[in-house]
Each structure stands twice: as C-alpha cells, then as structure tokens.
Amino acid sequence: MTRLVTGAGLALATLLAAAAPASADVSVRAVGAGQFFDELRYWATSVLPPQSANTYGVENLFDRSDRSAWCEGVAGNGAGERITVSFGGQAAPLRLLIRNGYAKSAEAYFDNARPRHVEIRTSTGTAWRTELADNTGWQQIALGGGWVEWVSLTIIDTYAGAKWADTCINEVQVDFEGY
C-alpha cells in the first residue's frame, strides 16, 4: 500500500526516518481523534521483539496497564532511542505524564533499565533535558501549552537494570487540560 505524505506529515516522516536506525523499523500506532487533537500517533525508533507472552510495542505506552511497557530494541541501554507523539496537526499539550520502567513487579522494574536523563523536543525546535525519578509513580514534564505538531522524548542515559540493559517505559500520556 502506498500512502502520499505531504506538508507537515512529510516533515515529520522525514525527521523520524532520518533518525531511525537503518536496521530497525519505526513503530507507529494511531490512537484516533480526540477533543484536543486530530490524530494521536505514537512512534518509536525501535521495539524489543516479543519474548514469551510479553510484547513491548508503543501501544503499551497508552494502554493504562502496569503489566506492560514499551522497551527499546537496540544493543546496549537504548541511549539515543526515541518516542514521538504526533497530533495530526497543531495541538497545545500542557505536559507529558510518564511512568518510568517496567512496572508489572518490583523484580521486572529493577531487572530492566529505566530512562534517567531524557531530552524533550517539540516540532517548534524547542529542546531541553530533564531527569526522571527512579520510581513507577506518575511524573510530569511541563510542555507549556504552545502549539506544536509533535513532541518527542529521547533517552540520554539510564538507571542500569540488574539483569538486562533493555530500557523500558510503562506509560506516556499527553495531558491537554492540566488535571
């Protein structure tokens, strides 16, 4: 199936394709339209392949389950891997809400790596780095509510996993109302 991508969609697709590892496919999952956006899409530069009954795709970032997580799928701790959320046009998100690590159990959490420092970047070119706490509670990253087409989170470094270098994130939600 061929899909024509133009305008801002082409810029986003070009940005994501250029940044993705040559050996990995970019993972994309659409959430659909909402009150504050035309189409919410989650992208990741890599995904850990399924193991046993567990899957690690970007759909786990918005399933509201402690039993799942997105885990990056490259060698090492995932430094440089990125999650991007696009809005299908202009939107004004106030903050990202993040639950760090693989939260299904304390063992799963500490056995896997978790992002420590991340870079947040928006389609306007604004970028900054922040530190995530090493716990599974909800954490907030303020975005300011300006109009953007996408926001991304790039892993800079991690809290090391006791068993595995795979870096995992339980949830990433976009908050438009500030509740």
Q: Which residue range is the domain that position 57 belongs to?
A: 7-175
Tokens at residue 29, please? Answer: 């999952």
Is 50 contained in some domain?
yes
Residue with tokens 């989170």: 153
**In total, how many domains does the chain have?**
1
Residue with tokens 């970028």: 127
Is 1 contained in some domain?
no
pTM for this prediction: 0.84
pLDDT in tens, the chain (179 residues): 222 223 333 333 334 333 333 334 467 888 889 999 999 999 999 999 999 999 999 999 999 999 999 999 999 999 999 999 999 999 999 999 999 999 999 999 999 999 999 999 999 999 999 999 999 999 999 998 899 999 999 999 999 999 999 999 999 999 998 75
Is 2 contained in some domain?
no
Backbone angles phi, psi at 113, to 5 degrees: -70, 155
Is 142 contained in some domain?
yes
Residue whose C-alpha is closest to residue 119's, from 145, 76, 151, 155? 155
Backbone angles phi, psi at 79, to 5 degrees: -55, 130
Is 81 contained in some domain?
yes
CATH number of the domain enclosing 151: 2.60.120.260
Tokens at residue 112, please? Answer: 């896997």
